[in-house]
A and B are shown apart, each in its own frame.
Chain A
């Protein structure tokens, strides 16, 4: 089961679960992702091998998609 997670003031919040054969779950995850992107969050698909890819759409085969805030030089 894949997860959409938002890093926030609570530590993190699981916004949605989905699996490729779960149409309703996938649509809910897609909608949640778009809503958070519109709020200014950025999405990263995090893979078990330690790599990560910035994404704008829900990657169905990814196990973990994380929403983060932008970073900037201090």
Chain B
């Protein structure tokens, strides 16, 4: 991975590895939101149409309608579950306990008092940015958009596999603080949709992080 050529202007050096991507800004994030909404509508319409029309043609086809409704419910849920995966608890080989403690203390030093309590309880950091409020975990982040109703899920991680979990969060937090637009560009958007749809697929800790982020926007 070559990342040494940039940073003179303060942008993330990792952008060099995704030079073909359009730099994320408010307009591109809104476009992504709209694309995801259209995609879900395109998935839903055929199933819902089937569920409504078939029983009108022949009542016995109501059985097929039930399956169509089940698909209409399940497909967005599967996408949301994929999005929720970015804050799934880290299950890879753990660093030793003293390293985890040191890393957690260091992460606590990087954030304010309010967020420090959240870090201790959940291992997640909530950080306000220009695009909304971020919930940062060890292998990804949520971006709760202004208004607190919509959320984007980003899969992004540090490339070193042996770091303590809290250090992984600190890596992402520092990259986010240094260049929010660059961070959103480097990260892979895995899902965008309603907060309520995502919430049911999150762990207890991630739900708390999401709730804090939404509260900071309202």
Q: How far is the CA of A7 from the CA of B111 in the complex (A)?
A: 16
Residue among A10, A12, A53, A70 having the largest count of chain B Cβ atoms under 10 Å: A70
**Cβ–Cβ contact A54 & B155, under 8 A:** no
Encode contact with A along B58-88: 1 for CB under 8 Å, 0 otherwise: 0000000000000000000000000000100
Are B4 and A54 in touch, CB under 8 angstroms? no
Closest beta carbon of chain B to A65's beta carbon, Å: 11
User: Across the two chains, which residue of chain A brings its CB closest to B127?
Assistant: A50
Structural contact, A42 and B160, CB atoms closer than 8 A: no
B39 interfacial contact with A, CB 8 Å? no
Asked if residues B178 and A12 are in contact (CB atoms below 8 Å), the reply is no
Q: How far is the CA of A42 from the CA of B174 in the complex (A)?
A: 11
Chain B residue at smallest Cβ distance from A55:
B7
What is the minimal beta-carbon distance from A74 to any residue of chain B, in angstroms? 4
| Interface residue? B11 (CB, 8 A) | yes
Among candidates A42, A51, A54, A72, residue contacting B17 with C-beta atoms closer than 8 Å? A72
The one of A37, A46, A72, A73 that contacts B174, using a Cβ cutoff of 8 Å = A46
Q: Which of chain B's residues has its CB closest to A47's CB?
A: B177
Does the CB pair A68–B17 fall under 8 Å? no
Query: Do A66 and B174 have beta carbons less than 8 Å apart?
Result: yes
Task: Give the docked Cα–Cα distance between A69 and B110 (Å).
Answer: 17
Are B177 and A42 in touch, CB under 8 angstroms? no
From known contacts A11-B102, A12-B103, A74-B156, infer whether A69 and B171 are also in contact, taking CB-CB under 8 Å.
yes
Interface residues on A, range: 20 to 34
Q: How far is the CA of A74 from the CA of B4 in the complex (A)?
A: 20
**Other-chain contact of A42, B3, B154, B170 (Cβ < 8 Å):** B3
Q: Are A68 and B102 in contact (CB under 8 A)?
A: no
> Are A71's CB and B159's CB within 8 A?
yes
Q: Which residues of B contact A8 (CB under 8 A)?
A: 163, 167
Q: Which residues of A line the B interface, CB within 8 A?
A: 5, 7-12, 37, 40, 42, 44, 46, 50-56, 66, 68-74
Name B residues whose Cβ lies closer than 8 Å to a Cβ of A.
1, 3-4, 7-8, 10-14, 17-18, 86, 95, 98-103, 105-106, 110-112, 127, 139-140, 154-160, 162-164, 166-167, 170-172, 174-175, 177-179, 183, 186-188
Having A11-B164, A70-B13, one finds 15 other A-B pairs with CB under 8 Å, namely A8-B163, A8-B167, A9-B162, A9-B163, A11-B167, A12-B102, A40-B1, A46-B110, A66-B170, A69-B160, A69-B163, A69-B171, A70-B1, A71-B186, A72-B186
